[in-house]
């Protein structure tokens, strides 16, 4: 029982780790809607569950300017969004911060960072109509027990119905 609990804790913690590096195919697999196992008349109207991934996208300190190390991951995300499996899906780009500074400042900063990611992706060929940005500040910390941890500073990409 203890081993099972330990395995579950390790698995859930691993699922929370923001992605620093992923191939185009990895991103497609993580974001593509699941294919129904069987087709029936009743499954025609089913909406796929939204999927999301947390990405490590680096910015200059207290800035929305993208740093170069995050651009290859965004380039792979753009290529994934242009794939057959994702080309008709809309996405929400959420900016998240750690808990340093005021709530108001972090909400503005996280919105600016989401907007910066959207501007970069649209500059790489993604239609802005497919992207919606939202700043979350530190309202949804990835590691609530470590509010100032760097892992809380991230961008989340979520598929939209």
SS (HEC) of the chain: CHHHHHHHHHHHHHHHCCECCCCHHHHHHHHCCCCCCCCCHHHCCCCCCCCEEEECCCECCCCCCECHHHHHHHHHHHHHHCCCCCCCCEEEEEEECCCCCCHHHHHHHHHHHHHHHHHHHHHCCCCHHHEEEEEEECCCCCCCCCCCCHHHCEEEEEEEC
The pTM of the full predicted model, rounded to 2 decimals, is: 0.82
CA dihedral 117, 121, 127, 128 (to 10 degrees): 10
pLDDT at 45: 59
Q: In what order do the strands lie in the sheet with 90-96?
A: 52-55, 154-160, 90-96, 131-137
Domains of the chain: 49-160 (3.30.1330.60)
Please calculate the CA angle 7-13-18 and round it to the nearest 5 degrees.
Answer: 145
Q: Going residue by residue through the chain (161 aa), what tens digit of pLDDT does each one get?
A: 333 223 323 333 334 688 999 999 999 999 999 866 555 555 555 667 899 999 999 887 788 999 999 999 999 999 999 999 999 999 999 999 999 999 999 999 999 999 999 999 999 999 999 999 999 999 999 999 999 988 899 999 999 97
């Amino acid at each position: 029982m203890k081993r099972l609990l330990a395995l579950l804790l390790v698995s859930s913690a691993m699922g929370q780790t923001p992605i620093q590096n992923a191939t185009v195919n990895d991103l497609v697999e993580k974001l593509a809607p699941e294919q129904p196992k069987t087709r029936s008349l009743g499954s025609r109207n089913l909406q796929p569950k939204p999927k999301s991934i947390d990405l490590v996208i680096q910015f200059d300190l207290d800035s929305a300017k993208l740093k170069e190390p995050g651009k290859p991951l965004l380039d792979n995300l753009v290529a994934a969004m242009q794939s057959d499996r994702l080309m008709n899906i809309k996405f929400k780009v959420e900016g998240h911060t750690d808990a340093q500074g005021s709530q108001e400042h972090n909400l503005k900063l996280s919105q600016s960072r989401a907007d910066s990611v959207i501007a970069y992706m649209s500059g790489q060929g993604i239609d802005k109509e497919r992207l919606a940005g939202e700043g979350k500040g530190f309202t949804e910390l990835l590691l609530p027990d470590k509010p100032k941890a760097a892992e809380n500073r991230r961008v989340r990409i979520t598929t939209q119905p």
